[in-house]
Structure 1
Amino acid sequence: MSEGEYSVQQRELTVKRSIQLKSVITLLWFGLASSSVLAEEPLLPAFSKMNSLADGWEPLEFPRIDQLTRYELVTDDGVQVVQATADGSASGLIARVDLAPGDSMLLRWQWKVSKVFENGDARKKSGDDYPARIYVAFEFQPEKAGFFERAKRKTVEVMFGETLPGNALNYIWANRLPEQVFIANAFTDQTMMVAVNSGSDQVGQWVTLERDIVADYREAFGEEPPRIMGVAIMSDADNTGERAQAWYRDLVLTVP
């Protein structure tokens, strides 16, 4: 190869690389870069990397419940996690999202609890408490709701400026409910409870779990899921009046 031919090839390679770089910058600018170009941003803020609980998560509170569960960032086995202390209380932390679930969406997490509730029972309102639960909220579908349900939701929106979600999945650490059982919440059939842990055999241990949200929604509600509007952690003891602690590591949402 002559010196002239080598110089031409080098210039062509430089131009090609410049075009590729500009393409990546364009993708970055419009938020279109794929995982083959860039590492994907996590869909849920990671507890392990947060400076405070306000970094992507916000309080999830409920009417007529004044005593709130305490959430704080702590270190466990060298990893930053969220510690929840429920003492006759109820509230959660929610990450707001707006995601189309597609054909499959996996939710992975690790949690640990100090105890299960002696009087916990998912089949009863008086026992509707869990030392740990993951709450997945879906978009409300007004075309499938009755007149009174739509009117109630509209009133809430006008009064509080808050749009209520529709159906929800709750992954729970149950007491009496066998694992893998789906059951309607004792207060509303718009929320389906899924026992992913049950009993005290694994109390005090980190437990790793993975669920396909789309498959679980189909089983729970018999239809395809609408958009996902939020994912929350929640430790509550307002019905039983008991006390427990739970620890949550990062929640990870992925599309297989």
Structure 2
Amino acid sequence: MLSLTALAATAAERVDVGVFAPGSLTEWESRSFEGKTDYRLSGDGESRVLEAACDGTASAIARRVPVDLKATPVLHWQWRVDGVHEGLDERSKAGDDFAARVYVIRDGGLLKWRTRAINYVWAGSSEAGQHWPNPFTDQAMMVAVQAGPPDDTGAWVSESRNVRADFERFYDLDLDTVDAVAIMTDCDNAGGQAAAAYRNLYFAPE
């Protein structure tokens, strides 16, 4: 039997956010911006993933899960895209469409103006490593983690970001916790279609 100390250490090793093997999205809430992106689970058992497809639509799914950034500051995830929205001015409202987004949210609670988010995107026009304020709100920062069409359509790409360091870099905030993670595949501003898939979202120590 594990001691309480060992259990605490094990719990601190990772915080699962989007491990879809159990086969349910009941802990995820939907928010529509324009129609609804189609989110569905596919595959079986440990190979189950979240697939997303949009057709002139934009909606996100989010899960509220408090994360201790002092213990587990690094967000890991895997994603794939069938293609990207090319030729858009992604810094404009008309071009704010992305085949895949994963974003982390610090909720301001009743003080909504204190909410902050970092939006990690698979960009179509921007270069990987670039960042810019979201054109709809100054409470979200866009960060291009991947850019351009995938080298191998259907191939999974693994990512990791130190969320605590990113909040300090982009907002000059030294956060101990964040409150939620969201996923979105959207096509509403420029129209068109896009498809992506997500799996294995979790926080871990540095």
Answer yes or no: same fold by TM over 0.5.
yes
The yes-or-no answer on 1:127 pairing with 2:95 is yes
The yes-or-no answer on 1:43 pairing with 2:16 is yes
TM-score normalized with structure 2 length:
0.87
- d(CA) in 2 for partners of 1:72, 1:141: 29
Q: Whose relative contact order is higher, 1 or 2, with alpha carbons under 8 Å and at least 6 apart?
A: 2
Over 3 Å counting, the alpha-carbon distance change for 1:39 and 1:134 in structure 2 is: closer
Measure how far apart 1:88 and its partner are.
Answer: 0.7
Write the letter of the residue equivalent to 2:74. L
2:84/2:194 contact within 8 Å kept: yes
Q: How does 1:96-107 map to 2 (within 5 A)?
A: 96-102=64-70, 105-107=73-75
- d(CA) in 2 for partners of 1:227, 1:79: 30
More strand by share: 2
- d(CA) in 2 for partners of 1:100, 1:129: 30
TM-score normalized with structure 1 length:
0.71
* CA deviation map 1:136-177 (0-9, x unaligned): 0013188xxxxxxx5xx4xxxxxxxxxx87000000000111
1:105/1:212 contact within 8 Å kept: yes
Measure how far apart 1:60 and its partner are.
Answer: 2.9
Name structure 2 gaps, 5 residues minimum: none
After TM superposition, the runs of 4+ consecutive aligned structure 1 residues lying more than 6 A away are none
Measure how far apart 1:203 and its partner are.
Answer: 5.4
Measure how far apart 1:217 and its partner are.
Answer: 1.1
Name structure 1 gaps, 5 residues minimum: 1-20, 143-149, 154-163
The yes-or-no answer on 1:241 pairing with 2:171 is no
Over 3 Å counting, the alpha-carbon distance change for 1:252 and 1:100 in structure 2 is: closer
The yes-or-no answer on 1:253 pairing with 2:203 is yes
Over 3 Å counting, the alpha-carbon distance change for 1:115 and 1:100 in structure 2 is: same
The alignment yields a C-alpha RMSD, in angstroms, of 2.7
- d(CA) in 2 for partners of 1:83, 1:168: 23
Over 3 Å counting, the alpha-carbon distance change for 1:44 and 1:104 in structure 2 is: closer
Structure ID, larger Rg: 1
- 2:29 alignment partner in structure 1: 58
**Residue aligned with 1:44, SS:** strand
* Percent identical: 35
Count of matched residue positions in the alignment of Structure 1 and Structure 2: 204
Over 3 Å counting, the alpha-carbon distance change for 1:70 and 1:114 in structure 2 is: same
